[in-house]
């Protein structure tokens, strides 16, 4: 375990979400190509995954490619796709596998090339039995898309005579969202200086603690991660109530809804 990891105090988040922003601006400031920033960003992502494993954080969600990123210049998009395929085939995946990392891709993967879809599936299968840390990599992902596809899947699986309006509850809908298998993120970090969610995990971040830093993602490191975790640990989470017990009430209500619909 690293020195920084051994100095963790307070409550650790069970699930950390990160909006990895600032690759382009980092590259521009150094008179480099956008793909140089993205390549450096991919290296940083691997190091941050390792840091989360060191800290026994069981879930990590990384915003790698949004639905809106398709609108970027085609030269940049092509470079991103080439980098994505390269990362899927690199030794880093083997290293993460050896560390006990389970990798899951969330988002509309049908929009990617057959080679990328195959690569994602192979990585998921290779790491599916790992239990240390589950890493959700969001690709062609948008929070609004996630909610819309959840509603569509929920309605599609209802018997024809069902009361659709009555069936669409928060608890039922949650089961069809991209992160249904994991607890909602406790902490969301955004790098790069912007103060917005940019359509990331809109459903799941309802009670999440938000942490914004000015550091561009390619310069983000384990020390910066620790600052975010320490800041999180210093906060009192009320979940809309007077104290953290309110969160238990919310979860109890959701569980009751599920049982009632069973």
Question: How many angstroms from the chain centroid is the CA of residue 147?
Answer: 15
State which H helix or E strand residue 3 sits in: helix 3-6
Q: In angstroms, rounded to a whole number, what is the distance separating the alpha carbons of residues 237 and 247? A: 9
Q: In angstroms, rounded to a whole number, what is the distance separating the alpha carbons of residues 172 and 151? A: 9
Q: In angstroms, rounded to a whole number, what is the distance separating the alpha carbons of residues 141 and 157? A: 23
Indicate the SS3 state at residue 106: strand
21 is catalytic: yes
The single residue of 21, 140, 184, 186 carrying the catalytic annotation is 21
Dihedrals phi, psi of 69, to nearest 5 degrees: -65, -20
Q: Which residues pair with 16 in a beta bridge?
A: 60, 187
Q: Which residues pair with 212 in a beta bridge?
A: 190
- E strand segments, 13-94: 15-19, 59-66
Q: What is the CA radius of gyration of the chain?
A: 19
Q: CB–CB of 232/225 below 8 Å?
A: no
The single residue of 11, 36, 54, 69 carrying the catalytic annotation is 69
Q: Which residues are catalytic?
A: 21, 69
């Amino acid at each position: 375990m690293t020195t920084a990891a051994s100095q963790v105090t307070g409550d650790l988040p069970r699930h950390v979400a990160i909006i990895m922003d600032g690759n382009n601006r980092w590259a521009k400031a150094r008179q480099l190509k956008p793909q140089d920033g993205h390549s450096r960003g991919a290296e940083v992502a691997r190091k941050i995954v390792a840091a989360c494993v060191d800290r026994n954080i069981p879930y990590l969600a990384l915003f790698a490619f949004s639905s809106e990123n398709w609108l970027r210049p085609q030269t940049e998009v092509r470079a991103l796709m080439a980098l994505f395929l390269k990362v899927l085939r690199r030794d880093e995946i083997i290293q993460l596998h050896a560390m006990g990392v389970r990798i899951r891709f969330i988002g509309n993967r049908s929009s990617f090339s057959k080679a990328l879809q195959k690569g994602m599936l192979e990585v998921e299968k290779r790491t599916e039995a790992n239990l240390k840390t589950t890493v959700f990599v969001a690709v062609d992902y948008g929070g609004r898309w996630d909610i819309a596809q959840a509603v569509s899947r929920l309605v599609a699986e209802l018997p024809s005579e069902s009361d659709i309006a009555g069936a669409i509850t928060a608890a039922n809908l949650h089961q069809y969202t991209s992160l249904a298998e994991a607890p909602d993120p406790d902490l969301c970090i955004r790098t790069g200086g912007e103060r917005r969610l940019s359509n990331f995990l809109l459903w799941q971040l309802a009670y999440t603690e938000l942490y914004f830093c000015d550091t561009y993602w390619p310069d983000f490191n384990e020390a910066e991660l620790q600052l975010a975790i320490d800041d999180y640990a210093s906060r009192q989470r009320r979940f809309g109530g007077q104290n953290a017990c309110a969160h238990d009430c919310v979860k109890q209500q959701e569980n009751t809804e599920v049982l009632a619909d069973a």
